Amino acid sequence: MQRLAFKMFLNPGQDSEYWRRHDEIWPELTALLAEVGVSNYSIFLDSETHTLFAYLERADNHRMDSLPEHPVMRRWWDSMSDIMRYEGGKPVMVPLLEMFHQA
């Protein structure tokens, strides 16, 4: 199992809409994430900076690299593009370096 953290950026004033869309997350998207080996996925918001902090765990043999080409993922990203910072048709995701972990 691997841990992965990254940040994304919410457009100002979109907190409630982001929350609403994730409250109604598509079952086919959650199934896809599980299928490619993603689990324990959480996203947190720093409302002062509009920065989203995401954490997930993924199987050692994960297939996350296939997500950008999957039609469900593309539709989800398209549906979120009006409330987040996007480049090249997908959300800006900045990987974070794990500096400490205590199990």
pLDDT digits 0-9 by tens, 3-34 = 999 999 999 999 999 999 999 999 999 999 99
pLDDT above 70 as % of the chain: 100
| Residue of 22, 50, 70, 101 marked active site | 22
Residue 46 has pLDDT above 90, yes or no: yes
Q: Among 29, 43, 27, which Cα is nearest to 74's? A: 29
CA atoms within 13 A on the CB side of 13: 1
Is 50 among the residues known to form the active site?
Answer: no
Secondary structure letter of residue 11 according to DSSP: P
What pTM was estimated for this model as a whole?
Answer: 0.89
Q: Which domains does the chain possess?
A: 2-95 (3.30.70.100)
**Strand order across the beta sheet in which 2-9 lies:** 38-46, 51-58, 2-9, 94-95
